[in-house]
């Protein structure tokens, strides 16, 4: 698993600010990595192996790498964590039991009164899932995604230690809500808090229109938008990389598993590629 700082050639970043912020981080990277791995071997490993996880969700561990991803973000069991757009609860199945005793999990889902039926059904399904197993999920605080640059029905006393989002930025870019989502995330974090991002990765230089159409985002675009919201890019990881992904599919990222939008057309080829090539970024809210 490679954790690397941002390359010098990446555009639209304040290079001096990046270097200043990363120096202290890199100096303590080894010890931080060791602490994260210890948690992975204990509490997080128990959550990953727990019976609350569905067989279908477990089957995707090889593509989504939840343990190493959360370790890269530096997540600890005592943290207050806000998960944005948790969907059906893939990561919630892991986060909720791990954080239940010492931390707290908040989930910002679609609004119950969303104008889109699919979003209303997704929120209802998520809440039903939590209600089915209160022994694991009764302490999860569920609210709505921000309608602007602020959360209206969700607050985190003292601020969140981490805000996590998995494969959502490309949707918010298309909807014109990316800036608001990042700003709201910045505001809800405590100073020094972490924004952890995973999303489909486009090759450098991919035109904006193509990024929107295919669901693949360049690392430069993600970093530019996060910096505009006030974040500093601390590190990036190749933990969710897939070198087999050529990024040039007829239905964009949705040609690949798990969606396989093309049906039987070239299905075997897309299954052989696997899930998308993904960027993994860790951002920090400055202390001052």
Q: In 119-210, at which residue ranges do the beta strands (DSSP E only) sit? A: 141-144, 160-166, 189-200
Inform me whether the pLDDT recorded for 38 exceeds 70. Answer: no
Sheet holding 278-284, edge to edge: 3-4, 232-237, 278-284, 189-200, 160-166, 80-84, 104-109, 141-144
The CATH number of the domain where 237 resides is what? 3.40.50.150
- Mean pLDDT over 197-212 rounds to 98
Q: Using a pLDDT cut of 90, give the percent of the chain over it.
A: 84
Confidence of residue 43 (pLDDT cuts 50, 70, 90): confident
Greater model confidence, 20 or 50: 50
Per the prediction, the chain carries an average pLDDT of 89
| Partners of residue 84 on adjacent β-strands | 108, 165
Residue 120: domain span: 3-284
Confidence of residue 41 (pLDDT cuts 50, 70, 90): low
Q: Are 34 and 76 in contact (CB under 8 A)?
A: no
pLDDT digits (tens, 9 = 90+) for 221-239: 999 999 999 999 999 999 9
Per the structure, how many domains does the chain have?
1
Greater model confidence, 95 or 17: 95
Confidence of residue 42 (pLDDT cuts 50, 70, 90): confident
pTM: 0.87
């Amino acid at each position: 698993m490679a954790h690397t700082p941002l390359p010098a050639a990446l555009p639209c970043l304040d290079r001096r600010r990046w270097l200043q912020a990363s120096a202290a981080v890199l100096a303590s990277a080894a010890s931080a990595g060791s602490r994260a791995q210890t948690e992975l071997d204990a509490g997080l490993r128990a959550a990953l192996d727990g019976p609350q996880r569905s067989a279908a969700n477990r089957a995707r561990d090889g593509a989504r790498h939840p343990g190493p991803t959360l370790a890269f973000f530096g997540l600890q069991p005592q943290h207050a964590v806000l998960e944005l757009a948790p969907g059906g609860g893939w990561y919630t199945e892991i986060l909720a039991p791990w954080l239940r005793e010492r931390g707290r999990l908040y989930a910002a889902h679609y609004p119950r009164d969303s104008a889109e039926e699919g979003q209303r059904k997704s929120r209802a399904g998520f809440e039903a899932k939590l209600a089915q197993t209160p022994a694991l999920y009764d302490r999860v605080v569920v609210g709505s995604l921000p309608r602007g640059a602020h959360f209206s029905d969700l607050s985190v006393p003292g601020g969140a230690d981490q805000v996590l989002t998995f494969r959502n930025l490309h949707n918010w870019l298309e909807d014109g809500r990316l800036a608001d989502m990042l700003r709201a995330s910045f505001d809800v974090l405590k100073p020094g808090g972490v924004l952890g991002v995973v999303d489909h990765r486009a090759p450098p230089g991919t035109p904006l229109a193509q990024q929107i159409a295919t669901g693949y985002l360049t690392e430069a675009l993600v970093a530019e938008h996060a910096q505009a919201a006030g974040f500093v890019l601390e590190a990036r990881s190749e933990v969710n990389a897939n070198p087999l992904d050529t990024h040039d599919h007829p239905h964009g990222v949705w040609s690949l598993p798990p969606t396989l939008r093309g049906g039987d057309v070239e299905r075997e080829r897309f299954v052989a590629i696997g899930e998308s090539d993904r960027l993994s970024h860790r951002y920090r809210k400055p202390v001052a």
